[in-house]
A and B are shown apart, each in its own frame.
Chain A
Amino acid sequence: MTMKPVTFTLNGATKAAFTTDGQNLLDFLRRGVGDLSPKYGCGQGTCGSCTVLVDGAPQLACLVLAETVEGKRVETAAGLAAGARLHPLQEAFMDRFAAQCGYCTPGMLMAAKALLERNPRPTRDEVIEAIGGNICRCTGYEPIIAAILDVSQGRVRA
């Protein structure tokens, strides 16, 4: 089995680790780097629970070849909080009870972060579109949409 070194930035910190041929970014982050925040849901790009940002763009870590993040910037839900202070999206998800089982939550948060960085004042339809690649089987989506709109409309502060 060929081992390949990968150096990249994970939540602002430089990381160097070995990946194996064909290993996807989700497996690499969880087993190779120890970041357990992206979740394994389907392994086929359908559920969105492994969503991370690669150079600012939301991507499905299960479908990204790990070695392709060489030199790139990867962000996961583990990097959202600043020490003990939660990210506004995390605060809003708690306030709105936007998580039940919580399995989709890291992916939802990253999809929402990507949206708000590109478009700080999205409409409700734009929020719905932005989380259209993330499946949640608990909340019915409404609390999640409300939480993201709370942040975009300044109702939540970090």
Chain B
Amino acid sequence: MAVTVETHATLIDAARALGSSGATYLGGGTVVMRGINAGEVQGRIVRSADPALRQVGLSGDTIRIGAGVTMAQIAAHRELAFLHPVARAVGGPQVREMATVGGNLFAPHPYGDFAVALLALGARAVPATGGGALPLEDLLRDRRRGGLVAAVEVPRPRDPRAFGWLKVSRVKPKGVSVLSIAACLPRETGRIRGARVAFGAMGPSPMRSAAVERVLEGQSLDAATIARAAQVAAEGLEPPTDSIASSWYRREVAGVHLRRLLEGMA
């Protein structure tokens, strides 16, 4: 079966065209074009040239990032300094010029490292068809039903040191993840309030770790707390086995890398 490509001037037109038809949306192309090249993606391809997709807007403590904003744009944006290390960890320079924020939300394992950071930051996804923004965990829980995303709304951490990020890969600088971890640990008088910790490549999509968050909440980030968090790092997660690492290996090393990240944030 051949591929047909439809380009729509606005995202809402693209969303309508996409509907529930089973067509594929083409964002930056780093995942979908590979599928087209391999003959694995066929049928209708829907895309949009809507310039709003490439915009970054600031409103108080919330940053709205268009779904079509690339990793290279993120890495060059002064207001997004806290996200620069995350964007720079995605692929090589060419991939970063193409890979988008929206695409990252839908990228299958082991991709989607940027979505891991967004999940830890408490970002919300703005549906293309309108309506209120929804928590990223809701979108990531069942991405097939999520529909098109116009933008993400990212709360800017009040203290940039409250956000930490770590990507573990075998090949540097551009290897895919053995795993990735993002943590948002705001502190009040030394105690963590509202801990959010997310893992990438430890499940079919980026996942929060309820066990780690429970251990950290209300505690100071001392050696004993970090040790307890490391012990429960893999609880509730479902790491897949792939060519990068086995499920067993990912479970074994999750705590080690979480400990290193938390020690760096202490």
Contact = CB atoms under 8 A, between A and B. Distances in A.
Query: Do A and B actually bind?
Result: yes
Interface of A: 1-2, 21-22, 24, 43-45, 48, 51, 57-60, 62-65, 67, 111, 114-115, 128-130, 132-134
17 contacts: A21-B45, A22-B36, A22-B45, A24-B33, A43-B37, A44-B37, A45-B34, A58-B93, A58-B94, A59-B97, A60-B94, A60-B95, A62-B37, A64-B98, A114-B93, A133-B94, A133-B174
A21 B30 CA distance: 17
Interface string B174-186: 1000000000000
Nearest to B173: A132
A59 B2 contact: no
Interface string B66-108: 0000001000000000000000000111110110000000000
B29 A65 contact: yes
Q: DSSP majority for the B interface?
A: mixed
B43 to A, nearest CB: 10
A48 B92 contact: yes
A138 B54 CA distance: 39
A64 B33 contact: yes
B20 interface: no
Given A59-B94, A60-B94, A111-B93, 20 more contacts: A21-B4, A22-B45, A24-B33, A43-B38, A44-B37, A45-B91, A45-B95, A51-B94, A57-B72, A60-B30, A60-B95, A62-B37, A63-B37, A65-B29, A67-B7, A115-B93, A128-B173, A132-B173, A133-B91, A133-B95
Taking residues whose C-beta sits less than 8 angstroms from the other chain, chain B's interface range is 20 to 34
Contact of A132 (B7, B38, B93): B93
Nearest to A107: B94
Contacts of A51: 94
B3 interface: yes
Nearest to B96: A133
Contacts of A128: 173
